[in-house]
DNA sequence: ATAATAAAAGAGTTTTTTATCTTTTATTTT
DNA sequence: AAAATAAAAGATAAAAAACTCTTTTATTAT
């Protein structure tokens, strides 16, 4: 569904969001450890997210990545678009170059309805929402 | 969603299914052309599908790939499982190693409901169904 | 000012996926 | 039996994705 880079990005964003709630900045090492991701690879991803203004970063001592309230309003969809581009939104399930309302593939309309739900799911779940959900103790981000 | 190999496999299977309806065998060249896929790469995929008994093949003159009525009952899901394995069924959307009813990620239950529909879609669409749909002239498999 | 810190940037490497080319084996037709 | 056909199999090659390492730049604290 999403690239591995994108999965890492989502995990990292949720991780930073949780820390930002307590006004803490997080370094790349902590993010990598906290998400079970390779440090230097994650660093590249974070640089990209930062460049694209999905979160803030600060160099030097006590630096790190952090989010303000605007950043916390970002949804999974925003992260997906930033990392994987629009392919998730655009592409035909069967991989057909031409597939539209006028030239639908055999599963076009079925998939259209499902995709609508998928899009709702990623657009309606913001980082702030994740913070709330995780606070309840009913949801987890376990990697081992 | 699916790997490129899997997309090619689905396209090829639909292509062969259409020809099999008229009791025709199709060679790899024809399949590759008819699906806009690289010939030798598609050959590998077809070998794999054939080995896994998703369709029949015959060597020599007048040989090629073809399907009997049992083969036509295969669904997209069968093809996906053969080519991409069970990852589509098993994996967490966020890529978490641990994500289950007991340890759900923040979108686990939402995605579970959607995945149910996705699975219905791929399990309930057989190659025979595609043949019918395409016969109506209301659906297309266009690549250009 | 200097040293320490941490992200940004640049330049690789490795692995996986996708794609191509060649040889072999099985089958059919002449 | 010989020639032709077409898939099967094996071996490479190219491209993309995932991952690593090093240097540079900005910031802070001493």
d(CA A29, CA B105): 23
Look over chain A and give the mean of its residue pLDDT values, rounded to a whole number. 97
d(CA A103, CA A83): 29
Instruction: Check if A125 contacts B (Cβ < 8 Å).
Output: yes
CB B133 within 8 A of CB A102: no
Tokens for A115, please give them. Answer: 């995709």
d(CA A130, CA A14): 7
d(CA A72, CA A17): 7
Strand D, nucleotides < 7 Å from a protein CB: these are: 4-11, 17-22, 25-29
Q: CB-CB: which of B98, B141, B144 is closest to A142? A: B98
Nearest to A1 by CA among B142, B3, B99: B3
Percentage of chain A exceeding pLDDT 70: 100
What Cα–Cα distance (Å) separates residue A54 from each residue in A26, A69, B26, B133?
15, 11, 51, 44
What is the ipTM metric for this complex? Answer: 0.94
Q: CATH fold of B4-135, please? A: Arc Repressor Mutant, subunit A (1.10.10)
Residues in chain B, pLDDT under 70: none
Tokens for A20, please give them. Answer: 């930002």
Residue A133: predicted pLDDT: 98
Residues of A in Cβ contact (< 8 Å) with B141: 94, 96, 105-106
Instruction: For residue A58, give the H/E element and its range.
Output: strand A56-58
Residue B61: predicted pLDDT: 96
CB A106 within 8 A of CB B130: yes
CB B120 within 8 A of CB B42: no
Contact B111 A104 (CB under 8 A): no
What residue is closest to C6 (Cα–C1')? A60
Q: What is the pLDDT of residues A10-52, one digit of tens each?
A: 999 999 999 999 999 999 999 999 999 999 999 999 999 999 9
d(CA B59, CA A44): 50
d(CA B37, CA B43): 10
d(CA A79, CA A57): 16
Q: What is the pLDDT of residues B107-140, one digit of tens each?
A: 999 999 999 999 999 999 999 999 999 999 999 9
Average pLDDT over every residue of A89-109? 97
Q: Can you give the residue ranges of every domain in chain A?
A: 4-135
Residues in chain B: 144
d(CA A9, CA B95): 11
A144 has pLDDT over 90? no
* Cβ A38 to strand D below 7 Å: yes
Average pLDDT over every residue of A107-123? 98
- Is residue B104 helix, strand or coil? coil
CB A64 within 8 A of CB A25: yes
d(CA B100, CA B137): 43
């Amino acid at each position: 569904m999403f690239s591995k880079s994108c999965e890492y990005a989502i995990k990292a964003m949720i991780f930073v969001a949780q820390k930002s709630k307590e006004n803490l900045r997080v370094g790349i090492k902590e993010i990598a450890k906290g998400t079970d991701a390779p440090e230097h690879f994650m660093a590249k991803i974070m640089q990209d997210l930062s460049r694209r203004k999905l979160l803030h970063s600060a160099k030097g001592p006590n630096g790190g990545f952090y989010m303000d309230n605007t950043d916390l309003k970002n949804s999974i969809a925003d992260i997906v678009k930033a990392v994987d581009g629009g392919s998730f939104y655009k592409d035909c399930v069967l991989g057909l170059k031409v597939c539209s309302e006028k030239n639908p593939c055999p599963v076009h309309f079925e998939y259209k309805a499902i995709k609508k739900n998928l899009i709702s799911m990623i657009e309606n779940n913001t980082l702030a929402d994740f913070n709330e959900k995780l606070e309840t103790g009913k949801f987890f981000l376990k990697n081992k």
